Amino acid sequence: MFILGIETSCDDTGIAVYHTTRGLLSHALYSQTAMHSDYGGVVPELASRDHIRRVLPLVKQTLSEASLELKSLNAIAYTQGPGLAGALLVGSSFAAALSFALKIPAIGIHHLEGHLLSPLLSTNAPLFPFVALLVSGGHTQLMEVHGVGRYKLLGETVDDAAGEAFDKTAKLLGLSYPGGPAISILADKFSKSGKVSSFTLPRPMLHSGNLNFSFSGLKTAVLTLSNKHKITQEIQEEIAYAFQEAVVDVLTQKSMAALTQTGLNQLVVAGGVSANCQLRKNLSKYAEKIGATVFYPSHEFCTDNGAMIALAGAMRLQEKPQLSTNSFTVKPRWDLEAHEMLSNE
């Protein structure tokens, strides 16, 4: 089966074609980062309008690269939620219209399910069951995964997500949006300098006795530091380093605790923050110590993309070929744990 994947949950327009036996055939992504950087964050109305401009040209491009025509498609998978309501409606309405015109199924996919399954696009893919660390600008969660749609929440952030904390910290330091890459670049410079940081930042909820996260206090600690010092290039680098070390330390130790608690030996890490090199280094190092293996998506699939949505749609259709939503309904807020396996929405 040929599955067209459509991702429009926030500020990236992602389109892909996936085949159930041949794998990913083509994918394209348009990022709105440059447009939103002038505002220091995503402007929902601008995001929605830009998705409208990009969807059709990207679909045509992706089909052309896969040497397919529209009539060759067997199903459409689109991001139904969570995300920005207007942005989600662009993808869902396009999918519904195309589904009706071609008389093929349209399947609403949970955005986080797409991220969670994205490492399965790699040649070296994990097998069920595994623990998943979903870490992005909007979410930080640990899930126990036993199959498509069979998820158990182990822990989540009680306030800011890790990626959100990166963006807010970058803003406090006068860095550009998006903050994650900017913080990582500065932290890497400080690390390579051979200097020892004099700043010690808190590790919120590290010893809470559960698998929940908190990053708002860490952001406040950065604010306190930045108010005490004149923000020079050197201070920016040192604070960025201390901040990244704190976030990575918390994410690593909580993930190792989740593996120990569940008795599983596979960890999947997905979402935008999964591209962070220091996080990958730390997780792999500590996982090896306890006999576990960590799986990451390739860097091009860490951020929002159509390939992960097409893959999730293909996996759900293989379990239940008649599955179809064919609806304009979107879910800006949607609990992944409650996203029941193979239900008709």
Place of tokens 């199959």: 147
Q: Which helix (H) or strand (E) holds 9?
A: none
Pair 243, 220: CB distance under 8 Å: no
Transcribe 187-255 into DSSP letters.
HHHHHHHT---------TTTTSSSS-B--HHHHHHHHHHHHHS---HHHHHHHHHHHHHHHHHHHHHHH
Alpha-carbon distance of 235 to 226, in angstroms, equals 8
Q: Given this chain, do its domains 2-117+301-338 and 125-296 carry the same CATH topology?
A: yes
Beta strands across the sheet bearing 140-147? 150-156, 140-147, 130-135, 266-270, 293-295
> What's the pTM value of the predicted model, to 2 decimals?
0.93
Q: Where are the domains of the chain?
A: 2-117+301-338, 125-296
pLDDT attached to residue 137:
84
What is the CATH number assigned to the segment(s) 125-296? 3.30.420.40
Compute how many other C-beta atoms are within 10 angstroms of the C-beta atom of residue 264: 17
Contact 275, 184 (CB under 8 A): no
Query: What is the dihedral angle through the alpha carbons of 259, 273, 301, 156, rounded to the nearest 10 degrees?
Result: 50
pLDDT at 322: 65
Per-residue pLDDT of the chain (345 residues; tens, 9 = 90+): 999 999 999 999 999 999 999 999 999 999 999 999 888 889 999 999 999 999 999 999 999 999 999 999 999 999 999 999 999 999 999 999 999 999 999 999 999 999 999 999 998 999 999 999 999 988 999 999 999 999 999 999 999 999 999 999 999 999 988 888 999 999 999 999 999 999 989 999 999 999 999 998 999 999 999 999 988 999 999 999 999 999 999 999 999 999 999 999 999 999 999 999 999 999 999 999 999 999 999 999 999 999 999 999 999 998 876 666 666 789 999 988 766 544 444
Q: What is the pLDDT of residue 344?
A: 42
pLDDT of residue 138: 85
Instruction: List all residues 6 or more positions away from 258 whose beta carbon is below 8 Å from its beta carbon.
Output: 131, 133, 142, 144, 154, 155, 211, 267
pLDDT (0 to 100) of residue 326: 60
The confidence score (pLDDT) of residue 327 equals: 67
> If one looks up domain 2-117+301-338 in CATH, what number appears?
3.30.420.40
